[in-house]
Amino acid sequence: MVVARETIELTYLAVIQLLPPRQRAVVILRDVLGWSAAEAASLLDMTVAAANSALQRARATLRERLPARPSEWSGSEPSDDERLLLERFIAAHERADAAAAAALAREDIRITMPPHPWCFEGLAAIRPLLEQGLTEPGEWRLLPTWANRQPTAASYLRAPGETEFRAFKLDVLRVEGGRIAEITTFDASLFPAFGLPPTL
């Protein structure tokens, strides 16, 4: 089994979104819910051989993308360097400073937004997103937190004409070499799980 049910974390949920729908369904049925190959195949209207093949491909993708040990997925706070990078990320966003935000990223940065299939790769691809996203929707306030041993920013947006900052998104940052290598963005539905308020 790739992952025990009690260890499912944001990292796993993010990576599993990369799988094709059939593979995703098979791995959830087999490795999360513990169904047999025959049960999974029957539900998905597949042969047992096809279900087993889909499971093998899904597991290979998960092993490639997930940390080697589930203990690395959660439970510890970021390092001092990660904290500093998160502080700079938050400051750049609250100032609506797209250039400063881009300066924190690696050239090969990758941004995903599960469960949506959107994927942006490379600094050139994300610069327009930063410039538009930091200035057009309204005013931002961000709170530092962490998920899966990764620095995370909880973003609140005050849209024009509103008085409150409302929960908007969580950005989970993967840091390599002192720069942001990947951002996985989740919507505000996860705020209660982090004990975060709906408004500021």
* Beta carbons of 134 and 93 less than 8 angstroms apart: yes
Decide if 112 contacts 65 (C-beta within 8 A): no
Predicted local confidence at residue 70, as pLDDT: 46
- Kindly state the average pLDDT of the residues 61-71: 63
Q: Output the six-digit token pair for 56.
A: 């093998």
Give the per-residue pLDDT at 196. Answer: 85
- List Cβ<8 Å contacts ≥24 apart for 189-192: 190/10, 191/154, 191/167
**Residue written as token pair 């942001």:** 180
pTM (2 d.p.): 0.64
CA distance 68 to 27: 18
Q: What is the pLDDT of residues 4-54, one digit of tens each?
A: 433 445 556 666 667 788 888 888 788 767 788 898 899 889 999 999 999
Nearest CA to 3 out of 68, 75, 56, 76 is that of 68
What pLDDT was estimated at residue 141? 94
Residue 75 has pLDDT above 80, yes or no: no
Residue 66 sits at the vertex; the CA angle it makes with 7 and 153, to the nearest 5 degrees, is 80
Nearest one of 115, 131, 121, 118 to 186, comparing CA atoms: 115
Mean pLDDT of the chain: 82
- Answer whether residue 173 shows pLDDT above 50: yes
